[in-house]
Each structure stands twice: as structure tokens, then as C-alpha cells.
Structure 1
Amino acid sequence: MSVAKSIQENLHFLLAETATHLALLKDYLTLPTATIPMRLLDRQGYVENLKLSIHNHCLREMSSSDQDDKDYQLLRSIEVIASQLERIVELSRDAVMQSAHIQHRGMIKVKGFLAMLNRVNNGLASIEPALSAKDTRQALKIGKVERHLDTAYQKQLKHYSRLLKKEKHPADRISLIMLAHIIEQMGNAMLRISEAIISASMGQHFSTDRYHAFNASVTELKTANDIGRLEFTPIAETKSGSAINALSSADEGSGYHAIFKDGRKRKLKEEKQRVKNWHDIFPGLAPKILAYQKQGDSAALLIEHLAGQTFEQILLDGSDKLLQQALNHLTRTLSQIWLETKTKKPVSAAYMKQLAKRMKDVYAIHPEFRQPAAGIGGVALPAFDDLLKQMQGLETGVKAPFSVYIHGDFNVDNIIFDPQEKRINFIDLHRSSHMDYLQDVSVFMVSNYRLQVFDPRVRQRIMDLCHAFYRFARAFAREQGDKGFEIRLAMGLIRSFATSTRFILDKSLSERMFSRATYLMERLLESDSKPKHPFVVPVKEIFIG
């Protein structure tokens, strides 16, 4: 994309004006005059107008229908750069004003402050060429200004803090510490500019940590000889905060080389270990980990790209034949996994405890769900929280008679079926563990129900699938002598129906899901008071509409 001339020119003027402000600050530190603060204040409106002009032009460009994702990212990056340049200008003015408070000018270590400002100047000079060429190496150098300024600030802080103890001119020493801190903050602005240029180059937002992890990961991808020619396509962003992208060559038809997933180190480290466990337990089910990189609190995984479609894609867009084929392979695979990983150790999923921990988040999104106890025509309607407390008591001592190795987050978009190879694969495995198999069953059923698709034909497919999956799980339970199947499944469904509403803003769908959780609670508690009538999950009533 060729950036509009008006944007280029205004950005050039803004860079020049930022450099002018830094020069005036350096002059004031070297030889203060009364005119410099006034000159800075007089130029304030000009800088703001330049930034607003850049933002407005970028907005008009982004509203154009012929912009692709990379064009959008470039324009967003330019907006960020303009805002951060204005921030540096503001900090320059603040630094002059802070410096004006210093009574004893001889206390200023001018050389140290000028060295810090020269770092910023050098970074500014690199912005235009780095942005024009989308040069990530140059962008990283710009970002290093932040680290250099932080180091310089720490030295200044240590020096002036030590002198504070001498009790001579303490106000000046405090002002000098504040001055150093103001200039140090310019480094943060330079880091944001660096990341904006990297993001423009990559076509989506990248922090420096994320870019380093990405760069280190793809060097281990043998099929990608030229990193610069890799296409980076966003696939998803998980609720746990990870971003998932597909890597492919710029050549058309080359297909994906791998999946790049980055996020919090703890989550990805867990996933790496869980994938290893799956390879040991059930080889071929989980994708291969091609590379793992960590940087601070962040980490990245380079994962084998798996052919096929997610179960969600097949459910929504696939033929009836393909959906049935996928379901058959899924249930067959699950039966094998459950039988091969089954242990005799009883285990509790603590569904109600899980639900109680998440209710604060549910109420934050849907405060209307927090209703007091009420009554209709003499019929008591207890509050949801009261029902939950009763359910927690009911769950005490409820355990699965055995444990199996489960996925742990068994949503329809975490299951892949390849019809060519007739193979099921699992992805997003950081929650896998030995647990009650009904946790996966209940999550799968509710993840189908909560799909925000309202076409009657598709909704009917979803309901039919839920019923079929229930029949499969019930048959497995009977074969294994699992007499608590219905009660634990109901508890799992309650947990999933209620907690999933925190991700759904559609009022009608979220209310239907929450009502189903409430209804199942009431039915379970009622059944507990009538031991002669064994509880059965009302699947037909729950999974309809």
C-alpha cells in the first residue's frame, strides 16, 4: 500500500516538530532562557493539529472499501506513531517546566541528560525510513532506546538519591529526579513507535517480545527458507489470551507451514507439557510442537498445521454425510482414549465449585441474572445463588468411579476432522488431565448449543448432534457400570450452561442458557428428595431451540 501524500507530509512535519522540541529542551538544559518555555507553549496547537490531521486522514483511508488487513494495520500503526510523537512533545514541555524549578543550575548533570535526549533524536531519525521499508531490524533498534533511557535514568536516580541524604538543596535534587524520569518516559513512547513499525511490517499487532519469539520460532521451520516471505494470517484469539496465526509462504497455493501461537508463558508451557503427554498416551492425536520460545512472561509455540476442518465448521457448513462421518470418528476416538487411559481411581470434577468461582464474572456481564428469591402464586422461586449452595452440598461425595485422560476444553472448535485421512485431532490442550470424562461430554454439548447461529435448519442439526452425543456417552457409561452418569452429566451441563454466558452478549441466547442451568438445578434437587425416582437428564427438553 502506498500511504497517501497528505499522511506522509504531516508525519514528516510532526517528526520535524518533535525534533525541534527536543532541540529546545537541550538548549534550555544547557543555557536556560525565558523565551524557550514560551516558544514551546506557542507550538502546542500546531503539534496537536498535525496529529489530528494524520488521524483523520488515516480514518478516511481505513473507511475505504478497497483496504485489506495489512493496509488497515499500516494506517493504525501510523496513528500510533503520531500519538507517541505528540507524547514526546508533551514530555519535552514537561521537562522544560520541571527544569525551571531547579534553583541551583550547577547541580544538573547536563551531559547525562543530553546523552539521553540524543538517543531519542537518533531514534526519531530512523522512523521514516524504517516505516517506509517496513524494516523490522531498524524498528527493533528504535525500540532499544527505551532500554538505554531506563538504564540512564537508574543511574541518575541513584546519583541524586544518594545526594538527597546530604540535606543540601533537597527540592532541586527531587526536581532533577523528576526531570530524569520525564525523559525516561520518552523511551516508552519510542518503544510503542518501534512496535507500531513492526506491526505495520507484519500486518497485525506485534509487541517486541512477541516479534522476538516469532523470529526465533520460524528459524526452526525448515520449510520456510525465507522468513521475510512468510504470510501471517490470524486464525483466532483464545479466551485465555493467546493469539493463533497460520504461517504460509507468499507463493499462492503453498498452504500453511505451521501454526504460531503466543500468549502467557504459564498457559503455553502447560500446553506444551500436555501435548507431550498426549503423544505418550495416544500418539497422533495432538499436533507436533515444532518450536517453543519464551521471553519474559510471554511465550510462543510453533505447532504443526493439521489438515481438515474444525467440528464447528463441519457442523455449520458441511454436508449431513460429512457431519455424521465426523461424529462417528469422534465417538470412536473418544471410546479408545477413555478405555486406554482409564484408571480405577475415583475423581471429582467439582462442577459446582468451578461454577461458584466463575459466577462473579457471569454477573459482571449479566447483572440481571442476580435475582433475589421470589414467588409466583405461592410457588417459591429461590435465587440462583441459593440453588448453587444447595447444589454444592448435593455434590459432596459425588465422584466418577474412574478417571480418564480428557481434553479439558472440549469445545467444537478444538476438534479437527480430516475426511481424507479419516482422522480426528485435538488442539488447545493446556487443560488436559486425568478427570471425569463427563466434563468433556458436557462442555462439548453446551459448546454446540451456544453457537450463535439462529437458522432453524442449523439449530436442528445442533440439537440432533447433542442428542446423538448424549446417547453415545450414556452407552459408554452403561458399559462401564457408571451409575452416577446422569447426575454428574447434569452438574457438568449446569456448570457449562451458566459459565458460558459470560462470553455471550446476545440477551435471548444467554437467558436461555442460564434458565437451563437453573432448571437442571431445580430438577436435581427435587430428585434428591425423591430417591425412588432416579434422575435422568431431560435432554429433549434442554437441547431444543
Structure 2
Amino acid sequence: METPEGLDQHFRFLVLALETQARGTQIFLLDPVRKGMPKLHSRKRYIDNLKTVVDNECFGLIHSRASLSRSLVNRVRAAQRICDSLARIGDILVSVAEQAADHSCREFQAAMDVEGTFSPITAGLAPIQRALAKGKMDAALSICRVGSELDRACANGAEKLMAALQEGGDPGHLVSVLCVLRDLGRVGCELLNIGEAILFSILGEHIDIEQFHALKKTLSKSGRADSVESIDYRAIKGTRSGCRVGEVRGAGTRHEAGSRIYKEGPLEKIRREKENNSRWQQYCPGLVPEVYSFHAQGKNGSLLLEFLPGETLDAVIRSAEEAVVKSALDTLERTLFAVWDRTAVTAPRATDYIHQIQARLADVLAVHPAFFRESTSVGRAAAHSVRELLTGCAAIEKELAAPVSVFIHGDFNTSNVVYNNATGRVHFIDLHRSRDFDYVQDASVFLVSLFRTPVFDADCRRRINGAIGRFHKGVEAFSIQRGDASFAVRLALALARSFYTSTRFELNTDFARAMYNRALFLLEKVQGFQGGDWAAFRFPEEVLYY
């Protein structure tokens, strides 16, 4: 691994200073006459100065060179994180000595095992510099383990002191020792952070120790021969569902055939995605990625999935040639409508589009506080408030059960559709929201995801509008084929839901307001038609275009 000499030297001095400070604090706690406090304070100032020097070198290195290797950038970023933790450990050690200063050595030794508590601190600090400089995975894991064990040991010691206090023990020194143990437990947390920072410098992605173990076990269950130390892990997608998604590739492997997708997150979502994946494979084999392994650990779960080569549909629409865009849309519609036909169930299905708006309203208003209109009137003309519109349309929606339901994707954004031009196939990803429901939900989400494409070039916008128009016509044809008389009004409610709730992801106020106004327009149109024949409701197609 590349080694900037100046950075390494100052970083090593910083770690050595912390090791010395830890030993000095231990000696201070065991010293019957409590000498050495000035030296601890002096060394703390030295630690702070070294941290500043290392920080400056890290920033200077990143900003002064035109190009840096990925491994060096990762190492510099990790060094900065470690410096922050080391400085906090330095603060904690001085605080521990100050709390012990008013108590005798004998009192502290009676209440806690000083040598036994400080031993893991020095054991955790010793390998830091080498682990970072050499990229030692085993040393990083050892530091994480020491940190966890120290935190756990201090917590157990604190529980015993609390019990002693409840039994009438002398609070004069027990409370001070209790505070010392709490502080030393924080040292354990900082050591854990340091170990995870070194893991980041090796893997190139932020990953905590539990996620690391989940990745290791998931790879093992898949039967891959690669050790975690030899894989290249790269985050490829940030999700709003709280899941981590990354590409796992064997060391030295550049071809996509050697890649897998690793997904980790809340157990319920991961388990649901695995189950939904199985259903999709039954209905349309090869449409969704194959699951290679599943691992559950506590409240989290992880999947290792097939890597699907190709481009997401939003990328295809923005940048591919016209013929490729047409082929992608043709394939998508043919595939999607075939799945709808295969999974269709003709039976009334209640919908919840207005409830979905209401459930996300707080998130919308946190980003756009003005997007909640109060009722207004000018002469005889009146405009309903958002609250009145939602209440009225919720009552209307109860009368509009979908006559047919299908197995929907559940989050049918253009970014969750992958098109492989080489094979002429589409694939669906991110399936944890799939369920049996009104097909109009997937249609509305897809249409608004096209509308939300953040491109305003006239030619590209024409292409996007063309995709919107043809998809709307295709869904409308499906509704006619199924004799769906309330399709138009349900589409209006579903689009109002998608337009309104999408504003929480859009910081461009003008564009967000364009979606907000369309949502209100659709809600007003539905409410104004109440009492009429819903089969005669005309959907205002112009709201789909920007």
C-alpha cells in the first residue's frame, strides 16, 4: 500500500503518544500518592497538536495532488477518522485521571481491576499503525474485538457497582469508579470505530463489524471460494429503505461474470425480498436476479444476488440511441403486461392511495413546509385545503375497489428496471415491496419516475414525454382489455399520491411545486366529479408531461 512518509511518521507518533498516555493513566490510578497529573495534561496537549498536524497533512495530500490512487485516498480518509477517535481517547484518559484524583489508590483497586481494565486498551492501540499502513485485515478485526470486549467488560463492572450501591455501599468512591468505568467503556467504542476505519481502508467502503461478519457469512453460504480479504467490495446504490447494496467482485476480476450483488438491511425487508424473488422466478424465470444465499443475524439480514449486466432504464432513456430506447420500452411493456396477465386475479381489491399520502405527509412538509394549502375563497369561488381534499378523496376511494389485481413490483421506478441490450431482455430489481395489488400503483410510480427524470434538455425531454405517452397508452389498453371501468379515476388518485410524495425527494423548489400542483389538480378533479359515473371520468393526460 502507498505510504506518504510524513503522514506515516506523524500518525505513528500520535499512536505512540496514546499508548504512553494509557500507561500513564493506569500508573496514576495505581499510584498511592497520585503523582503525574501535570504530565498527563501536557501529553494531552501534545496529542491534540499531533492530531492537527495529521489532519492538515491528510487534507493537504488530498487537495494538492491531481490524482491519487483509490487505495491511498481510502487510507487517508481512514487516518482522519482514526485521528478523531484517538483524540477522543486522549480526552477520556485525562477525564478518568481527574475523577480518580480525589480518591485513594486502595479505594479504586477495591472497586475495579485497574490492570485488567487497561490491558485491553494497550492491546487495542498497539497494532493500529501497522494495521493501517499494511492493510492488515486480521489486525483490524482484532482491534474491533478488543473494543467490543472492553465495552462489554466495563458495562459488566458498572452493573456490579450499581448493585453494590443498592446494597448500601459507600457512594463516595463507588460513584466515581462507576463514572470511570463508563468512560473506559467509551474507549472501547472508539477502538471499535478505529478497527472499522481500517476495514474501510482495506475494503474501500464504510462497513461496521456486524455488517462485515454478515458479508463474510453470506459469501460463505453461497459457496464462493473467495475470502473476504480477497474480494473487492464497492457500494453501487444508496437506498432510502435503510439497506446497504454493494457489488462484490473477486480480487483481480474485472469481468461482470465474476460479480455478485450483496444486500444487507433490516431482516424483515431482506426476508421479504427473498420470498418475493421466489415468486417472481415462478411467474417469469430470469426476470429477477437469482438468490445465491441468505443470512439472518439478529435484526438484520443479508442476500447475495446475481449481478445483472446492463443499464437501468432511466440511463437508457437519457443517453442511448433512439433504436435502443424503443427496444427497451417494447421489451419492458411486453414483459410487464405478460406478468400482469399471468398473475391477474379478478376480484375486488381495496386501494390505499390517499392513506399513502397521509402517511408520508410529515416527510413532505419537513422538506417543503409550504406544501399544505389551507382553504381559501375569492367571492363565490373556493379552494379546498389539502386536509379537506385528502379527507374527501379518501371517502371516494373506499367506493373504488380495483376490479382486478396483479403481482406488482411495488417500487416500479425506472432505476429498478435493468435493460440488457446484448440479450434484449429486461430485469427487475429491489423487490421487497412486491405484493398482490392494483396494477395502477406500479403504473403511476413508473409514470412519475419518468416525469421526475432530472433532465430538461428539449430533445431529451421529448424522448421522456414519448416514453410517458406510450406507457400510458399501453396501461390504458390493458385496463380496457380487463373491463376496468374505474381505471381513470384510480390512476388519478395513484398519480396524485406519486406526485405529492415524490416532492420529499426533490430540492428544486420549482420542479417540486410542479409535482405538488399536479397532485392538487388531480385530487380536485376527482372530488369535483363525486356523484358522477366513474366510468365516464376523463383522466387529464396533460398532467403527465413537463
**Range into which the TM-score falls when normalised by the shorter chain:** over 0.9
Q: CA deviation at 1:108?
A: 2.5
Q: Residue 158 of structure 2 corresponds to which residue in structure 1?
A: 157
Matches within 5 A, 1:144-543: 144-220=145-221, 225=226, 227-251=228-252, 253-255=254-256, 256-376=258-378, 379-528=381-530, 530-531=532-533, 534-539=536-541, 541-543=542-544
The amino acid of 1:184's aligned partner reads G
| Runs of 5+ consecutive residues of structure 1 not aligned to the other structure | none
Deviation at 1:201, TM superposition (A): 0.2
Contact 1:30 1:110 survives alignment (8 Å): no
* SS at 1:346 equivalent: strand
Unaligned runs of 5+ in 2: none
- More moved, 380-389 vs 370-379: 370-379
Q: Which deviations, in whole Å up to 9, do the C-alpha atoms of 1:114-165 show, x marking residues without a partner? A: 1121101011111111111211121111011123213322442243233324
Amino acid corresponding to residue 11 of structure 1 in structure 2 = F
**Mapped contact 1:231–1:249 kept (Cα < 8 A):** yes
Distance in 2 of aligned mates of 1:67 and 1:493 = 46
Tell me, what secondary structure is at the counterpart of 1:345? Answer: strand
- What SS does the corresponding residue of 2:345 show, helix, strand or coil? coil
Is the alpha carbon distance of 1:231 and 1:155 closer, same or farther for their aligned partners in structure 2, counting shifts above 3 Å?
closer
Q: Quickly say closer, same or farther: Cα 1:224–1:412, change in 2 above 3 A.
A: farther
CA contact under 8 A between 2:54 and 2:80: conserved in structure 1?
Answer: yes
Equivalent in the alignment of 1:65: 66
CA contact (8 A) 2:357 2:500 kept: yes
Q: Which amino acid aligns with 2:88?
A: R
Is 1:37 matched up with 2:5?
no
How far apart are 1:104 and its partner, in Å?
Answer: 7.5
- Alpha-carbon deviation of 1:530? 4.8
Structure 2: distance between partners of 1:45 and 1:105: 29
SS at match of 2:234: strand
SS at the partner of 2:289? coil
User: Structure 1 residue 44: deviation in Å?
Assistant: 2.9
CA-to-aligned-CA distance 1:421-480 (integer Å, 9 cap, x gap) = 222211100000100000000000001111111111111111111111110011010011
1: CA distance, partners of 2:92 / 2:278: 50
Report if the CA contact (8 A) 1:104-1:172 is conserved.
Answer: no
CA distance in 2, matches of 1:227, 1:164: 46
Partner amino acid, structure 2, of 1:501:
T
Partner SS state of residue 412, structure 2: coil
Alpha-carbon distance between aligned partners in 2 of 1:182 and 1:286, rounded to the nearest angstrom: 49
- Alpha carbons of structure 1 residues 243 and 344: separation in structure 2 relative to 1, 3 Å: same
Alpha-carbon displacement from aligned partner over 1:242-263 (angstroms, at most 9, x marks no partner):
2222223443642242111222
User: Quick one: structure 1 residues 147 and 503, their matched pair in 2 at CA, closer, same or farther if it must change by over 3 Å?
Assistant: same
* Counterpart-to-counterpart distance in 2, 1:103 and 1:222: 58
| TM-score using structure 1 length | 0.95
CA distance in structure 2 between the aligned counterparts of 1:409 and 1:151, rounded to whole angstroms: 41
Contact 1:102 1:172 in 2 (8 A): yes
Q: Structure 1 residues 393 and 58, CA, compared in 2 at 3 Å: closer, same or farther?
A: same
CA offsets 1:38-96 (integer angstroms, 9 cap, x no match):
22223332222211222222122222431354433222211110011111111111111
Q: Deviations over 1:24-47 (max 9, x none)?
A: 111111114454222222333222
More displaced 10-residue stretch of structure 1: 524-533 or 427-436: 524-533
Give the distance between the partners of 2:298 and 2:69, measured in 1 at CA.
Answer: 33
**Contact 2:58–2:80 under 8 Å retained in 1:** yes
Task: Tell me by how many angstroms 1:285 deviates.
Answer: 1.5
Q: SS in structure 1 opposite 2:536?
A: coil
The percentage of counterpart residues that share the same residue type is: 29
Equivalent residue letter for 2:19:
A
Distance 1:489 1:68, change over 3 A: farther
Q: Counterparts of 1:378 and 1:45 in 2: how far apart (Å)?
A: 74
1:183-208 alpha-carbon deviations (Å, 9 max, x no partner): 12110000000000000000111111
Letter in 2 for 1:108: Q
Give the direction of change, closer, same or farther, for the CA distance of 1:270–1:160 in structure 2 (3 Å limit): same
For residue 407 of structure 1, report the CA deviation from its aligned partner.
0.5
Bigger shift: residues 389-398 or 379-388? 379-388
Letter in 2 for 1:455: D
Q: CA deviation at 1:376?
A: 4.9
- Give the CA deviation at 1:312: 1.1
Paired residues of 1:108 and 1:176 also in contact (CA < 8 A) = no
- Paired position in structure 1 for 2:9: 9
Distance, in Å, in 2 between the alignment partners of 1:235 and 1:165 is 52
Q: Go from structure 1 to structure 2 and tell me whether the alpha carbon gap of 1:3 and 1:104 turns closer, same or farther (over 3 Å shift).
A: closer
Shift of 1:110: 7.5
Distance 1:480 1:533, change over 3 A: closer
Q: Name the SS for the 1:235 alignment partner.
A: strand
State the secondary structure of the residue aligned to 2:255: coil
CA spacing shift, 1:107–1:21, aligned 2, 3 Å: closer
Q: Distance in 2 between matches of 1:93 and 1:345?
A: 71
- 2:128 matches 1:127: yes
Letter in 2 for 1:251: G
Normalising by structure 2, we get a TM-score of 0.95
CA RMSD across the alignment: 2.1
Task: Give the residue type in structure 1 aligned to 2:486.
Answer: G
Partners of 1:216 and 1:166 in 2: CA distance? 45
Whether 2:139 is the aligned partner of 1:138: answer yes
Q: Residue 532 and residue 91 in structure 1: after superposition, are their counterparts in 2 closer, same or farther (change >3 A)? A: closer
Q: Match of 2:46? A: 46
Cα deviations by residue, 1:504-535 (Å, 9 ceiling, x for unpaired): 11112111111110111111112225549922
CA distance in 1, matches of 2:465, 2:317: 11
